[in-house]
Structure 1
Amino acid sequence: MGLFNGLIGNATEAKPAGVEKDLADVLMPEEQVDLAFKLVRDLVVFTDYRLIIVDKQGVTGKKTSYKTYPYKSISRFTVETSGHFDLDAELKIWISSALEPVEILQFRKDKNITQVQKALAMAVLK
């Protein structure tokens, strides 16, 4: 069911220990993963210092893009929950002085976007 959920757009929570192992070359020494969500091959990762978006590209997923957003550079974000006809929930993230969002993440379940929004709020607003 996990793969099926990913294929139709549902983010699933990933175990922080497994994500830390997968991102060993990307994480700083002593940096810990607080929360992570997996969408088929991609990841949204909250560490104690930053937000990391891991985008696996191509058919094989061998090419990978790692986008890092330090929490202090995130100036605002919006959450749009799903409705009756619009089934996608959406999170948009802006960095300082940007007019357009730098990241737009789509979810099919409000539960997951609510968790992501809460984690982002706790990281950015503390």
Structure 2
Amino acid sequence: MIDFTNSAYVKMKQVDPNTVLGDIQPILINGEQVIGAYKAMRDYCVFTNKRVIAVNVQGMTGKKKDFTSLPYSKVSAYSIETAGILDLDSELEMYFSGLGKVKFEFTGQSNIVQICQIISGYIL
């Protein structure tokens, strides 16, 4: 499992979900749909209509991957920080019962408000 206690997970930018669909397709359940994908150098996270899937790509070849499933049903609270004039990055903090805080950082081009609306739609 990814160690979320060490600051932010990764600083990510939005990517086409099809670029990571091959990796996560086998772990999706019936009726689960990919809403968005965000990627850093190698690691990425995928927002679905059921959960956030955080993927930690490991090893030199990148064939080994750690998949962490973060279901919206376990979110007790979340907060977002939008990008500003000097600070171009945005942040999402989600608080999961039994796990604690998970923090994601996004580049300024990512639509953090859209992510907020998606999460709100599934947890409220």
TM-score with structure 1 setting the length: 0.71
Distance 1:47 1:111, change over 3 A: closer
For structure 2, which runs of at least 5 residues remain unmatched after alignment? 1-10
Does residue 120 (structure 1) correspond to residue 122 (structure 2)? The answer is: no
Which 4+ runs in 1 deviate beyond 6 A? none
Distance 1:97 1:54, change over 3 A: closer
Question: How is 1:21-32 mapped onto 2 (pairs within 5 angstroms)?
Answer: 21-32=22-33
Distance 1:84 1:18, change over 3 A: closer
State the Cα distance separating 1:23 from its structure 2 match.
Answer: 1.3
Does residue 13 (structure 1) correspond to residue 12 (structure 2)? The answer is: no
What value does the CA root-mean-square deviation take over the aligned residues? Answer: 2.5
Work out which structure has the larger RCO, using CA pairs closer than 8 Å and 6 or more positions apart in sequence: 2
Distance 1:40 1:117, change over 3 A: farther
Query: Contact (CA 8 Å) 1:10, 1:109: kept in 2 or not?
Result: no
Name the count of aligned residue pairs: 114
TM-score with structure 2 setting the length: 0.72
